């Protein structure tokens, strides 16, 4: 099954060693490989492949054409000492890839559902805790840990062994460099490094997303004004707004900052040029 030719969309293919509970529903073309274990109210969309030793539990829905590599665990109980076994859920979209050892937990006692969108890539041993909200086309690299209630915007990249505190937001098209950590929100379009510090604009990421020169220039100018001087961020935002009409991308950055509840990452301690900007 894994690595070979995929079957045409037809009846599901279930290996004899797999264990499926009574509440499991498989759409056309689903592959369930050796030693998989599915128990709970589970629905898996057409064309999704569970390679081997995959565990899916609880109230879990997985969309179409996902690929789950060995030892992935989806929908297990949250790592929340107050959890008493309530019917919390996981909802996963289409065309996601979950590499070896990825874990996605169901919602918590005070939450409801963990959500993963479409076209995301979770690398080996990465983790999304209870009640996370993962957008579309993100990359969560190997060993990255997302605590409960974390939100990751579309096309963000969380690099290897990063750690993200609960309730933190990672903005759209932002990048966390490897081994970085944050307990503050990372604004969209920015590069974060160290401890909740943004150092530059994610220029190459914006170029790959199809942004033109004027869009990138507008965001870079806004970044300099907001983060490259040692001043109050709220005051800098209001000053920028009062300057007149702003590009849509700059307004997205400002709206993100204004809506932050945990506070926004700091600017760099040094104003020296940073690689990548």
Residues taking part in catalysis: 130-131, 148
Q: Is 27 helix (H, G, I), strand (E, B) or coil?
A: coil
Q: CA 77, CA 106: separation in Å to the nearest integer?
A: 6
Cβ(66)–Cβ(48) below 8 Å: yes
Distance of CA 76 to the CA centre of its chain: 18
Query: Which of 101, 132, 102, 140 shows the shortest CA–CA distance to 116?
Result: 132
220: helix, strand or coil: helix
Q: Which of 43, 182, 169, 166 minimizes the C-alpha distance to 108?
A: 166
Task: Give 9's contacts (C-beta < 8 A, 6+ positions apart).
Answer: 28, 29, 46, 47
Place of tokens 């914006």: 206
Residue by residue, DSSP assigns 174-207 as -EEPTT-EESSBB-TTEEEETBTEEEEE-HHHHH
């Amino acid at each position: 099954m894994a690595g070979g030719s995929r079957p045409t969309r037809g009846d599901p293919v279930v290996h004899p060693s797999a264990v499926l509970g009574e509440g499991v529903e498989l759409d056309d073309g689903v592959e369930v490989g050796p030693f998989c274990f599915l128990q709970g109210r589970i629905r898996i969309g057409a064309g999704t492949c569970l390679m081997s030793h995959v565990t899916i539990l609880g109230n879990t829905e997985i969309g179409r054409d996902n690929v789950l590599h060995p030892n992935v665990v989806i929908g297990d109980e949250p790592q929340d000492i107050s959890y008493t076994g309530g019917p919390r859920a996981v909802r996963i979209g289409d065309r996601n890839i979950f590499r070896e050892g990825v874990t996605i937990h169901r919602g918590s006692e005070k939450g409801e559902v963990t959500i993963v969108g479409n076209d995301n890539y979770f690398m080996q041993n990465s983790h999304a805790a209870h009640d996370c909200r993962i957008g579309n086309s993100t990359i969560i690299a190997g060993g990255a840990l997302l605590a409960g209630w974390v939100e990751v915007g579309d096309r963000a990249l969380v690099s290897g062994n990063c750690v993200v505190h609960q309730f933190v937001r990672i903005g759209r098209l932002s990048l966390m460099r490897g081994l970085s950590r944050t307990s503050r929100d990372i604004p969209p379009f920015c590069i974060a490094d160290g401890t909740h510090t943004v150092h530059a604009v994610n220029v190459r990421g914006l170029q790959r997303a199809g942004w033109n020169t004027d869009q990138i220039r507008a965001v870079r100018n806004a970044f300099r004004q907001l983060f490259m001087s040692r001043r109050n961020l709220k005051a800098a935002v209001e000053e920028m707004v009062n300057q007149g009409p702003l590009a849509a991308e700059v307004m997205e950055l400002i709206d993100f900052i204004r809506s932050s509840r945990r506070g926004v990452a700091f600017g760099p301690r040094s104003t020296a040029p940073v690689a990548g900007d």
